[in-house]
Structure 1
Amino acid sequence: MPKLGMQPIRRRQLIQATMEAIDDVGLADTTVMRIAKHAGVSAGIISHYFGGKDGLLEATMRQVLGDLGHTVTQRRMTLPEDTPQAHIRAIIDGNFDRSQVSQSVMKTWLAFWASSMHRPNLQRLQRVNDRRLYSNLCCQFRRCLPRQQARNAARGLAAMIDGLWLRGALAPEGLDVDRARRLAYDYLNEQLARSPHHSGGHHGHIRNPAALYRR
């Protein structure tokens, strides 16, 4: 975690520089000196506030996760209707929001996933991230599906969101956001069609509007 005292604008500048460096040369070749050069600061500032490259990577991922959470929360707070379908669509849309699919952010995500397998602090962030996605999907599915069916639907959609995003990130042509969203919507509609209360229209009333998304 970064030390207190750094101005938010400088912190954001260093995080952006980290993503740009990863975009340019990959995580392995991203050094404190390279990040400092991107940010136009001395390497000593990074070491002082973040303790080095690993600390800055953790802070960068916390920022990316926070941006995603804010994006999804805003989408859910402005929905025209409080239905499970609308809320889950907002979660899907947030995961494929332009703030999450830029080249630098996608490469940072990939670097984070790979590093989380070896670094406990990043692994904890990844677990929180996964659990929040599953929990919020499950909460919405539970409003219209039996418990076990809701859990299975949430696990399936979470895996689909991550899978579509990952395949798009690795594809030479990049991620086709519209196609990814349509595929996720199709899966969502198939699951909701299994609801004993399904009628092709609204799917229940919201139980807890304050229980907004994950990251």
Structure 2
Amino acid sequence: MPKVGMPDIRKPQLVNATMTVIERVGLQSASIALISEEAGVSTGIINHYFGGKHGLLEETMRSILRAHGKTVTNALSSLPASAHKQRILAIVAANFEGQQANNKVAKTWLAFWSYSMHDNQLQRLQRVNEQRLLSHLLIELKALFSNSQAHHIAQAIAALIDGLWLRAALNPDGLSAQQSQLIIKHYLETQLQALHTQH
């Protein structure tokens, strides 16, 4: 976490510089010297406010998570509470549109996923993000399916989001948001159709 007193204007500047450098040279080569040069600040400022590269990476991920959370919240706020299918699709769309579809953000996420396997704090952030996604999905799915079915489908949708997002992030052509969302929409509609057939 950045220390108290970090100028607000500096935080997004340093976060953006971190993502730019990660996109250009990868996480391992993204040194404090390169990031500070990209941001136009001294290495001392980064070390003082963030305690080094790890602290800056953590703040970068928190920033992306905050922006993503706002995207989801805004998407849901525009839909009626009873529009469960539309709300599920809005949650899905939020993972493939806006900032999340930015190639720079995608590469930072990819680096974060890899790095978090060996870092407890970053792993905790990843778990928080995963639980938040599942929680949003379960609220809507439980209104349509039994409790056990809702949990199963939520896990499947989350796995589809992660898998499609990962494949898209590794694709040189970037993120195919529309195709990814169509695949998940088809899965959801298949589950809804199966539910209606049972009844």
Instruction: Give the TM-score, by structure 2 length.
Output: 0.95
Q: Which residue of 1 aligns with 2:11?
A: 11
Q: How does 1:68-87 map to 2 (within 5 A)?
A: 68-79=68-79, 82-87=82-87
**CA deviation vs aligned residue, 1:22-61 (integer Å, no higher than 9, x gap):** 0110000000010000000000000000000000000000
1:134 aligns with 2:156: no
Q: Which has the higher helix share?
A: 2
Residues 198 and 8 of structure 1, relative CA distance in 2, 3 Å threshold: farther
Q: Which residue of 2 aligns with 1:124?
A: 124
Partner of 2:145: helix, strand, or coil?
coil
Partner of 2:69: helix, strand, or coil?
helix
Deviation at 1:193, TM superposition (A): 2.4
Q: Which residue of 2 aligns with 1:59?
A: 59
Identity of aligned residues (%): 47
**CA deviation vs aligned residue, 1:92-130 (integer Å, no higher than 9, x gap):** 110011210111100100010001000100000011111
Residue type at the aligned position of 1:183: I
Structure 2 segments unaligned to the other structure (5+ residues): none
1:46 aligns with 2:29: no
Partner of 1:127: helix, strand, or coil?
helix
Q: Which residue of 2 aligns with 1:100?
A: 100
Residue type at the aligned position of 1:43: T
Residues 154 and 31 of structure 1, relative CA distance in 2, 3 Å threshold: same
Instruction: Give the TM-score, by structure 1 length.
Output: 0.89
Instruction: Measure, in 2, the Cα distance between the counterparts of 1:176 and 1:97.
Output: 10
Task: Report which structure shows greater RCO (CA 8 Å, sep ≥6).
Answer: 1
Tell me how many residue pairs correspond in the alignment: 199
Deviation at 1:82, TM superposition (A): 3.0
